């Protein structure tokens, strides 16, 4: 199972290229040859970078949805809108397509944030705003999400 660690600040150039921080690139090394999928987030104004292996697992799950149900088709269409296959080049740069830069409101300052098996790509101001907005309720959220599932954390 893939598990990324860390939050990293970096810069995007005018073409939408981001130099991947060395610590993150090292974590991504086993996946670099297979490439990645970049898409808009469902819930936040950011992008999600999926290693191809994780994307394929998600697509297996999505492919089990009954395509003769309108809501399933609508969801799949919206979920996959703007999806791009991308790669980290030999110099460690990731090129974010212009339409996705626009969707996420990415300017010059960028935050790459691990989200277990994917990397979220944020405009720095948007990231800080979301973190600040959720800080107050995080204890309640942690209790609700992690506190009552019957599993004991060690």
Q: pLDDT tens across 62-93, in order?
A: 999 998 999 999 999 999 998 999 999 989 99
Is residue 135 domain-resident?
no
Q: Answer whether 15's CB lies under 8 Å from 84's CB.
A: no
Among left, alpha and beta (phi > 0; psi -120 to 50; other), residue 7 is beta
Determine, yes or no, domain membership for 37: yes
What Å distances lie between residue 33 and 55, 88, 90, 114, 149, CA to CA?
A: 14, 9, 11, 20, 37
Q: Would residue 47 count as lying in a domain? A: yes
> pTM here?
0.89
Q: Is the residue at 22 inside a domain?
A: yes
pLDDT at residue 153 tops 70: no
- Asked if residue 81 is part of any domain, the answer here is yes
CA distance 148 to 94: 39
Per the domain annotation, does 13 fall within a domain? yes
Domain membership flag for residue 143: no
* CA distance from start to end of the chain: 19
Number of domains in the chain: 1
Note the pLDDT of residue 144: 85
How high is the pLDDT of residue 138?
Answer: 81
Which residue range(s) make up the domain with 28? Answer: 7-124
pLDDT at 152: 57
The pLDDT of residue 33 is above 60: yes
Q: How many CB atoms lie within 10 A of CB 119?
A: 26
**CATH of residue 49:** 3.40.1550.20
Residue range 2-24: average pLDDT? 95
* pLDDT at residue 149, rounded to an integer: 63
Q: Which residues contact 141 (CB under 8 A, 6 or more apart)?
A: 134
pLDDT of residue 38: 98
Whole-number pLDDT of residue 151: 58
Looking at per-residue pLDDT, the higher value among 146 and 8 belongs to 8
pLDDT tens digits along 112-140 = 999 999 999 999 999 999 988 877 778 78
With the C-alpha atoms ordered 125, 87, 55, 142, is the resulting torsion angle positive or negative?
A: negative
Confirm whether 112 is domain-assigned: yes
């Amino acid at each position: 199972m893939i598990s990324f660690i860390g939050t990293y600040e970096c810069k995007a150039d005018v073409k939408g290229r981001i130099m991947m921080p060395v610590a993150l690139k090292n974590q991504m090394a086993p996946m670099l040859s297979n490439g990645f999928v970049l898409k808009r987030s469902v819930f936040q104004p950011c992008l999600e970078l999926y290693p191809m292996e994780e994307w394929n697992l998600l697509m297996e799950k999505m492919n089990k949805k009954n395509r003769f149900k309108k809501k399933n088709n609508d969801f799949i269409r919206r979920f996959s809108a703007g999806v791009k296959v991308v790669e980290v080049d030999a110099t460690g740069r990731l090129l974010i397509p212009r339409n996705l830069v626009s969707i996420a409101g990415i300017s010059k300052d960028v935050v790459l944030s691990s989200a277990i098996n994917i990397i979220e790509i944020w405009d720095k101001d948007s990231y800080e705003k979301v973190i600040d907005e959720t800080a107050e309720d995080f204890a309640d959220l942690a209790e609700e999400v992690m506190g009552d599932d019957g599993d004991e954390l060690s």
